[in-house]
Structure 1
Amino acid sequence: MDDSCRESSDYEILAEIGQGAYGKVYKARERRGQQRFIAVKRLNIPEEPESGIPQFVIREVALLRKIEHFNHPNIVKLLNVSTGWQNQKLDLTLVFEYIDQDLTAFLSRASEKGLARDKIKDVMRQLLSGLDFLHTNTVIHRDLKPDNVLVSCRGEVKIADFGLARIYTYHIALTPCVVTLWYRAPEVLLQSSYMSSVDMWSAGCIFAELFLLRPLFRGFTEIQQLQKIFEIIGLPGEEDWPIESPVCYSPAWAEKKPTKQLLPSLTHEENDLLSQFLAFSPAHRISACRALAHPFLADCNSEDE
């Protein structure tokens, strides 16, 4: 094992399970106590004394510290944070509870017949409960996608990876380069202002994916992504187009279609909820709290249609 993967006296590294631009994530086991499995996120940051620790790192740790106090069941738990210098690099280690798989892996193992309606309801209730908690505490996740939604072997759903998350106010300057393309809301694609409703669009994309077992909008450029969105939800009226957007409105984007039945395979109730997630206007998009009260999700004992 090389120096970059050195072990702590508190845990034993078992395997690499993920990699990003600034570091890696490992599966590990505690050496003491319960000897639980844990997830170790190790960030190796080049030494730049004049600039200090990058803002995105400070932001992620601060947000995790802010929300860990509440111990919400649908937010991944931060167990420890440690720092040190190694090979002229700042070695920042975040230790999280270990969850068996993400939603992408979970869906890849689903039957060709798809998920049971009760399972879809259960996943969405837990996801929305986590989002409602974040938004109530003025946190926008900004990168909600199946890779960042964890599903335990016991069916627990937890939102993870807060590297792009922000605490928001009404006048905050937010970057347009957020949210993985397939789950990115129209206002972000149009370089318009945005709020917590961007997470609700992403949740709607995940909701559709639970039925389809594949992403709903699969564009490879921002323009293509917008076109694929309008093919499904219809082209909005010019009056709904963000005034500040540098992208010009054009009827050539797509033919306008009714949005009552976005996916023919879904029931009326399911399509109604999906259409509220995928409302073009952020002001008309459903909140996590209201989505939990929607008839499709509100009655835990209701029969599948």
Structure 2
Amino acid sequence: MESSVTPYEPVAEIGGGAYGTVYKARDSRSGKFVALKNVRVQRDEDGVSPSTVREVALLKRLEHFDHPNIVRLFDVCATVRADRETKVTLVFEHVDQDLKTYLEKAPSPGLPAETVKDLMNQLLKGLAFLHSHSVVHRDLKPENILVTSRGQVKLADFGLARIYSCQMALTPVVVTLWYRAPEVLLQATYATPVDLWSTGCIFAEMFRRRPLFCGKSEADQLGKIFDMTGLPAEEDWPEDVTLPRSAFTNRPPQSVKSYIPEIDDLGAELLLELLAFSPYKRISAFNALQHPYFQGQSPEV
């Protein structure tokens, strides 16, 4: 990552978030549009922090596989600034809309069941690929799932959580809790299953066209989850977390259909496997692709 004058000319601002502003830009060499994300990274005496270099190297390595359900990372440019800070610009392929916009634009009564199945199949293929390379997305939500004009799903913003964590302190933006797994809300240890929880929330949202659990705080979010799934068993509650199970009232699980009337029985079954409270009991992306819900869809990853 050497300092360079970039050949990318910003055309428009296309989104701001917890991780800074995203720009649509034109590559002056090819004339094609790209998406630029700028990240400020603190440097140590030797330059950019080793963790950032490692994260970016991993993202670049994933490029070689050219997976159809992963957004392409074309380039990484670093500009050294004052105050032991480096501006890292990540250059991604540009896709016009995200899943949030796609769902908002869907005419009533919403997406056909087969479209939901196809989008889910692609989303899980992208996740299975990331997880097979030990990349946890950590922040999966409709805003960072891109959908091309041909209906191709591409995951964006994966693997950036650690690069961004040092920048998070600099921005007062509130990150949504709505897609967060219980183990993250409880501040327990977590791994790839967090992405499957988020996928379950997104699956439900594809039918409902509005989020499944809209909590205002960690405890409120957990309460809304338990309203649907019931209070988890004592043995599934993680140890050494600040919020005890006793902080929540006992309640029975509700039927999936009462929340998502449009979902079929196999879809409801898959949803419950994605929304298993215990990460150890939650279905993996690879196994989700083999689920009977997808019969008739090609299961290759």
TM-score per shorter chain, which class?
0.7 to 0.9
Q: Aligned letter for 2:93? A: E
Correspondence for 1:75? 70
Correspondence for 1:267? 264
Correspondence for 1:105? 101
Verify: 1:182 aligned to 2:182, yes or no.
no
Q: CA offsets per residue over residues 89-144 of structure 1, 9 Å max, x none?
A: 53322111110111111111112301011110111011000000011111111111
Distance 1:254 1:217, change over 3 A: farther
Correspondence for 2:166? none
SS where residue 190 of structure 2 aligns?
coil
Verify: 1:131 aligned to 2:127, yes or no.
yes
Distance 1:148 1:22, change over 3 A: closer
Correspondence for 1:84? 79
Equivalence map 1:1-305=2 (5 Å): 10-20=7-17, 23-33=20-30, 35-45=31-41, 50=45, 52-54=47-49, 57-86=52-81, 90-162=86-158, 163-164=160-161, 180-250=176-246, 252-257=248-253, 261=257, 263=259, 265=261, 266-300=263-297
CA contact (8 A) 1:85 1:91 kept: yes
Distance 1:264 1:152, change over 3 A: closer
Distance 1:22 1:271, change over 3 A: closer
CA contact (8 A) 2:207 2:260 kept: no
> TM-score of the superposition, structure 2-length normalised?
0.85
- Residue 186 of structure 1 deviates from its aligned partner by 1.0
Higher RCO (Cα < 8 Å, 6 or more apart): 2
Separation of aligned partners in 2, 1:21 and 1:257: 34
Correspondence for 2:167? none
Q: Aligned letter for 1:278? A: L
- In structure 2, runs of 5+ residues without a counterpart are 164-174
| RMSD over equivalenced CA pairs, Å | 2.6
The alignment-based identity, stated in percent, is 49
Distance 1:40 1:8, change over 3 A: farther
Q: Which runs of 4+ in 1 moved over 6 A?
A: none
> TM-score of the superposition, structure 1-length normalised?
0.84
